[in-house]
Structure 1
Amino acid sequence: MHSSISHFPLPETLEDLPVDLRERIAAVQEKAGFVPNVFLMLAHRPAEFRAFFDYHDALMARESDSLTAAEKEMIVVATSARHGCLYCVVAHGAILRIYSKDPLLADQVAVNHRTAPIGERQRVMLDFAFHLSFAGGALDEAWRERLQAVGFSLDDIWDIGAVTAFFSLSNRLVSLAGTPPNPEFYLMGRLPRAAK
């Protein structure tokens, strides 16, 4: 494996990993066409790999009351940019471009969500994520009223907070390991797919 993707040990080959990790990595590789570096970076600790990706999937794949997949990715991109996590900005920027079908949005949200071409709902959502992540804030009555006024349920508010918290962890781990984004992420979602 490539030692350039982590300061920590990596498996020599995927065959060195437990079967469930190999299967999970193979499924992602089949879908994306490559293995995201974060999977390899976390593979040296199988129990943590499982816990990390199980929680990731529980948050990012579950249906919220009204919080969309694109809005979840906006949270990841905006907060990761503020944390200085290139991996998460690039990788989740690619996913945001795909979900939003907007090749410009991820870069605009990463630079400044307050000037990005998003609605008031998304701006309040990202303001709250910043409040939690960077101001050590909490959900008080004023924030609850503000979030509910733009259409978020309590279930959505939990998801906003959980996505914010989870990716603060992810940002710190990726920065700790020195893991760069895969080159493939940079181009994803920037140009329309060619017709088959």
Structure 2
Amino acid sequence: MTSSAQMPISRFPVPALSEMPADIRDRLLAVQEKSGFIPNVFLVLAHRPEEFRAFFAYHDALMDKPGNLSKAEREMIVVATSNANQCQYCVVAHGAILRIRAKNPLIADQVAINYRKADITERQKAMLDFAMRVAFEAYAIGDDDIATLAGHGFDQEDVWDIAAIAAFFGMSNRLANVTSMRPNDEFYTLGR
């Protein structure tokens, strides 16, 4: 059995920190200082610096903004849709973030496996129902879907946020799967 430390984190080249543009290297070092390690997504995406910058600018705009969706709810969207897209990296990494943000060691596993049975609110289940519809049937979304969310207290900006997070991570899931991005071992124990 090969140890996970010996497994490649991507099937594409991963640049050394010393080879990265200064702004990207600085961001990775700041992440490492804050969390104690560099999540592999940063290393893998550094293969394409312009795309790295665009990816994380949009990621940060969606995931770190103020609004009616809590940071934990944003992570629920990522975990549920990433599981449906069979993205191991995103389920493991964002599952860890969800456990921390929700202050609940069970929630990420519940949401990933079957959010309909998870210990979340009806409002959150409606949010995830809509996110899944965006992930797989965006072409069929109509006014009734928006009305259902409004009935749970979501406003128009919330609807946009839910849709944008599901859509962005659909792209991220596909890229993570194609690159064979490996989750860092550290993620498995965070928030447990």
> Is TM (by shorter chain) over 0.5?
yes
Runs of 4+, deviation exceeding 6 Å: none
Structure 1 residues 118-153: Cα deviation after superposition (integer angstroms, max 9, x where no partner): 111000000001111112345421111100110111
Task: Give the Cα separation in 1 of the matches to 2:53 and 2:144.
Answer: 37
Unaligned residue ranges in structure 1 (runs of 5+): 191-196
Task: Give the Cα separation in 2 of the matches to 1:26 and 1:139.
Answer: 41
The count of corresponding residues between Structure 1 and Structure 2 is 187
Task: Give the Cα separation in 1 of the matches to 2:83 and 2:95.
Answer: 10
Aligned: 1:95 with 2:112: no
Structure 1 residues 4-25: Cα deviation after superposition (integer angstroms, max 9, x where no partner): 01111111x2011100000111
What does 1:83-122 correspond to in 2, within 5 Å?
83-122=85-124
Aligned to 1:29: 32
What does 1:15-164 correspond to in 2, within 5 Å?
15-64=18-67, 66-164=68-166
Task: Give the Cα separation in 2 of the matches to 1:100 and 1:120.
Answer: 16
CA contact (8 A) 1:108 1:116 kept: yes
Unaligned residue ranges in structure 2 (runs of 5+): 1-5
**Secondary structure at the counterpart of residue 117 of structure 2:** coil
Bigger mean CA offset, 139-148 vs 34-43: 139-148
CA RMSD of aligned residues (A): 1.1
Higher helix share: 2
Provide the identity percentage: 57
TM-score calculated relative to the size of structure 2: 0.95
Task: Give the Cα separation in 2 of the matches to 1:149 and 1:183.
Answer: 41
TM-score calculated relative to the size of structure 1: 0.93
CA contact (8 A) 1:7 1:177 kept: yes
